Amino acid sequence: MKKVIFFLSLFLSIYLSAQTEFNSVTELPDYAVLKTKMKLDDAVTKADTPAEFPGGMETFKRKFAESMDVIDVKTNKINTRVYFIVEKTGYVRYVTATGNDKKHSQAAEIAVRRLFVKWKPAIINGEPVRYLYTFPLTLKKF
* Per-residue pLDDT tens over the stretch 120-135: 999 999 999 999 988 8
Burial group, residue 39, by CB count within 10 angstroms (0-12, 13-18, 19+):
exposed
The Cα–Cα gap between 5 and 100 comes to: 24
Percent share of the chain, pLDDT over 70? 71
**In the chain, what are the domain boundaries?**
2-140
* More confident of the two residues 72 and 139: 139
**Mean residue pLDDT across the chain:** 77
Give start and end residues of each alpha helix (H) in the chain: 2-13, 31-37, 57-67, 102-114
* More confident of the two residues 29 and 51: 51
Cα 86 → chain centroid: 11
The Cα–Cα gap between 79 and 101 comes to: 8
Cα dist from 61 to 81, 114, 127, 136, whole Å: 14, 13, 27, 11
* pLDDT at position 39 over 70: yes
Residue range 38-61: mean pLDDT, rounded: 88
The Cα–Cα gap between 37 and 95 comes to: 9
* pLDDT at position 100 over 60: yes
pLDDT of residue 141: 62
- Pick the closest to residue 95 from 77, 78, 79, 116 (CA basis): 116
* pLDDT at position 89 over 90: yes
